[in-house]
Chain A
Amino acid sequence: GAVVSQHPSWVICKSGTSVKIECRSLDFQATTMFWYRQFPKQSLMLMATSNEGSKATYEQGVEKDKFLINHASLTLSTLTVTSAHPEDSSFYICSARGLQYINTIYFGEGSWLTVV
């Protein structure tokens, strides 16, 4: 089956710094990638949809200048949390869909971000 890899799996950073999380599709071309955020004991909230080669589409309430998403290639999307604050601490999960897997999306294992 298809594999989606996220890196780093966990990161601790200081307030005010920027953190980049990578999402890679390892054995298929991901035309679309999705970024989710999950707070403890809550469900996954979709942040944005990222299509290769175009600007990401952000969900209502998500600050696009704070959560920068780049999908420069068919196998890589990055989420950069700019000027991170403690309230940005969360579990960030990406998922990917390719044309050959049209009925299924594949999730990365998630990245824990702790801002101190």
Chain B
Amino acid sequence: AQSVTQLGSHVSVSEGALVLLRCNYSSSVPPYLFWYVQYPNQGLQLLLKYTSAATLVKGINGFEAEFKKSETSFHLTKPSAHMSDAAEYFCAVSACETSYDKVIFGPGTSLSVIP
């Protein structure tokens, strides 16, 4: 079974500061990991995904995440926060053994960017 935890339900950063959103996973098989962003009243947008290729994954809008198996982590970072980054961020995991596998979401982290 797979599960995801996200430390910090709410994170505030100043504009231009480093963004760090934490994600730890639990999986009985090598996982596929995802970060999604959700803007208010909108659906989900895929930021990036890890599928067992490079451990450092670069996504859209300047975000990147590093898969660390020893720490079972997949933290999301961005060097410099923009006001437009304010949104809800979800880390997700899938076993992806077959095409039928479901994606399990973490509880989400709300990011606020202070001018």
Q: Which residues of A contact B (CB under 8 A)?
A: 31-32, 34, 36, 41-46, 49, 51, 93, 95, 97-99, 102-105, 107-110
Contacts and interface: CB of A to CB of B under 8 A. Distances in A.
Interface residues of B, number: 21
Contact of A43 (B32, B46, B49, B90): B90
Contact of B100 (A31, A45, A104, A109): A31
A44 B51 CA distance: 22
A45 B4 CA distance: 12
A105 B111 CA distance: 24
A59 to B, nearest CB: 9
A90 B42 CA distance: 13
Contact of A31 (B42, B90, B99, B103): B99
A26 to B, nearest CB: 15
Contact of A103 (B32, B44, B90): B32
Contact of B106 (A43, A104, A109): A43
Contact of A32 (B43, B90, B100, B107): B100
A49 B99 CA distance: 11
Contacts of A51: 100
Contacts of B107: 42-43
A107 B104 contact: no
A107 B44 contact: yes
